[in-house]
Amino acid sequence: MKFVVKEDIGAPIDEVFARITDFHAFERSAIRRGAEVRRRDNPPANGLGAGWDVRFDLRGKRRDIGLEVVAFEAPERMQLKLGSEGLKGHVQVDLVALSRARTRLRVETEIKPRTLSARLLIQSLRLARGTIEKRLADRMAEFAASLEKSPKFPG
C-alpha cells in the first residue's frame, strides 16, 4: 500500500531539508502523540545510519516499528527503511527547488505485509485510505505553514 503527499513550501530547499532532518523535533512530536521512541544509534547520527525503535497504538493494537535512514543526499533526498514483525516498507522524502525561495516536498510511504495479520491491517487501512490521505495532507500543510512562518531555521 502506497501513500504519496506533495506540498509546495515558501522556503529555500536548504531550510526545508534542515527542518525535515531535525530528527530530535520529530522524536518529540511522536512522544507528544503518545508514542515511545528510542534511538538505535549511539551517539545519535543526523544522517545515514540514524535509527529508531518506535512503539505506538494503531487500530487498537500495540505496534513496534523500526526505522533506519538508508539514503541521505542533502538537500534533495532521504529514505528511511521501516520494518516490524509483520510489515516492511520505506518512506522516501524528495525535495525539488522550484525557485530560490520555493521548494516542493514529496513524501512517499509504502508498506507491505509479511504476515496474515499484517494483511488484515493493510486491508483496514485501504478501507480508510481517503481519511488517511486527508490527515497526511493536513499534517504536511501544517508543517509547510510552520516552516514558512518561522524565522530562518538554524541549520
Residues 8-56 pLDDT 10s: 999 999 999 999 999 999 999 999 999 999 999 888 888 999 999 999 9
Q: Does 141 have pLDDT greater than 90?
A: yes
Q: Does 71 have pLDDT greater than 80?
A: yes
Cell 486527508 maps to which residue?
Answer: 134
Residue 113 lies in a domain: yes
Judge if pTM exceeds 0.85.
yes
Residue 131 lies in a domain: yes
Residue 135 lies in a domain: yes
Q: Residue 141: enclosing H or E segment and its boundaries?
A: helix 129-149
Residue 154 lies in a domain: no
Please report, rounded to a whole number, the percentage of residues in the chain having pLDDT higher than 70.
97
Q: Where in the sequence is the domain holding 68, given as residue range(s)?
A: 2-149
Average confidence (pLDDT) over 66-71: 97
Q: Does 155 have pLDDT greater than 90?
A: no
Number of domain units in the chain:
1
**Interacting residues of 113 by C-beta distance below 8 A, sequence separation 6+:** 86, 87, 119, 121, 122
Q: Cα–Cα distance between 105 and 44 in angstroms, integer? A: 25
Residue 42 lies in a domain: yes
Q: Which CATH number belongs to the domain containing residue 96 in this structure?
A: 3.30.530.20
pLDDT band, residue 152 (cuts 50/70/90): low
Residue 81 lies in a domain: yes
Across the chain, mean pLDDT equals 93
Residue 155 lies in a domain: no
